[in-house]
Structure 1
């Protein structure tokens, strides 16, 4: 059961009033709400609802989407607790992996040729959204070799929705919170500055250590750090700097020329509107408040 509590401040009497939480009347209410705002809530672009898997397979996938890193996403919903939600989702995920061309055709129709050509088949995801999960569910996701997110929902009052990540695993193995920095080989130093590689390793360690459930996704152009959505994207080290894009709002940050800048509306690899440039070890310490703000933003 969720321990999340929500209170409304009472400015008249100077107290607080608890807003009672509740489950949806029917599963379809949750599905409709998430599908209507999927990119905002989950960082996933909506593709299809109740997608039929054909007469042989005989099923219907609640929602199909494509996340911000290009990974295919199957989303299954349950109003309350349902012991079968994970197995049902994995059943559909297996179907998806066997029908890649069909999925890419769907992406091409909905999002265009470029998105279809960049589908990341090495990292398909299952997101299960339910009223609650058991401890057996949480244990089960860690035993599978798939990327699975368990998300608990609650409705508060008449106009508030809460989403809480209960478990998040990538490829069946969660990335360790504290990753040991990799040694820089002479061959790597010939191509890139050894100092920048070490600096990127320090950033990686800090981002992974921001909290439980942080996972990372490797793409050719960047490395994404996620909770349920991306909160940071680390670009491969350049000769003189390491660049990180964050989900923190640039309008809430005191921008410093040469260190941080607003890249809203500018094209770049990865996600996030705040660019941070790191050139020396002390810049990592300097950027930690921005890293934490971005982590909290998602």
Structure 2
């Protein structure tokens, strides 16, 4: 359990926390600050799901990769926020045009056209989750984040990630589940880019994958339409597999790095796939070794 202490002249006093009094108050706070708190752009609130599903989605959003996001809020431990979020996810994937219309009205047609449906997300925010919720999230085969909120005296609010499920990536199948090849042609394409790569490049990717996931216990990998996104609250690496090298986009300010032609590149004024401003090209184990400090810096910036 997260504990918060106030420090005064070397002494500490625990700051007591609890659930906010009104679910709607929390929802309004998060919706007004979604990019700062969750790394998600706000799209719509209280979205009706029509006569068949007969409900309202608390919040719809769009993450930095262009993936649709459902955010559901609950105050009580007993309320089935995860089941509700997954129920609404079924509505969302069947109503893509409606969601894209909402995106277009808020951000423009170009953003709507770029919505990535390969891996939509459900974010559940509640005062607490039990172990059944955590296991159920892992069994859902969907991208799910379980977030615990607490409000403290002095207008402090904390969000703590209780669980995050992202599906499989290109590394060891024993650590992450394989994607559903029968129902996910986009993911199959990402997988095939690795399967058809030379053996030495596949081995190099496996080493990169291991390095990226060992940077901290909360890193995870998501296979998207155009790249593999390694993320915490935000992405810290976006990886593409080319014919002879790996291209990694990092959340690092290029002005803080001595750029080397053919290895690192400033992307701030260049259109590119992935989120971040620094490109690193990795074609050998030596390239990966010297890239580790940059990977670590991007990981820290994504907290």
Matched residue, 2:98: 102
> What does residue range 13-92 of structure 1 map to in structure 2 within 5 Å?
13-92=9-88
Number of residues of Structure 1 aligned to a counterpart in Structure 2: 285
Distance in 1 (alpha carbons) for counterparts of 2:132 and 2:203: 40
- Give the C-alpha shift of residue 275 in structure 1: 3.3
* 1:207 and 2:212 aligned: yes
Distance in 2 (alpha carbons) for counterparts of 1:262 and 1:92: 40
Matched residue, 1:167: 163
> What does residue range 186-201 of structure 1 map to in structure 2 within 5 Å?
188-189=197-198, 195-201=200-206
Distance in 1 (alpha carbons) for counterparts of 2:173 and 2:39: 20
RMSD: 3.1
* 1:227 and 2:229 aligned: no
Distance in 1 (alpha carbons) for counterparts of 2:15 and 2:252: 28
Matched residue, 2:7: 9
Matched residue, 1:270: 274
TM-score, reference length from structure 2? 0.81
1:126 to 114, 122, 126: 122
Structure 2 unaligned regions, length at least 5: 178-190
Structure 1 unaligned regions, length at least 5: none
| 1:53-102 deviation digits (Å, cap 9, x = unpaired) | 12343211100011122221111001242341111111111111221221
Do the aligned partners of residues 54 and 186 (structure 1) sit closer, same or farther apart at CA in structure 2, a change above 3 Å counting?
closer
- Give the C-alpha shift of residue 260 in structure 1: 4.9
With 164-173 and 30-39 compared, the bigger mean Cα shift is at 164-173
TM-score, reference length from structure 1? 0.82
Matched residue, 2:251: 247
| 1:118-159 deviation digits (Å, cap 9, x = unpaired) | 222231211101111001111111121221110111223333
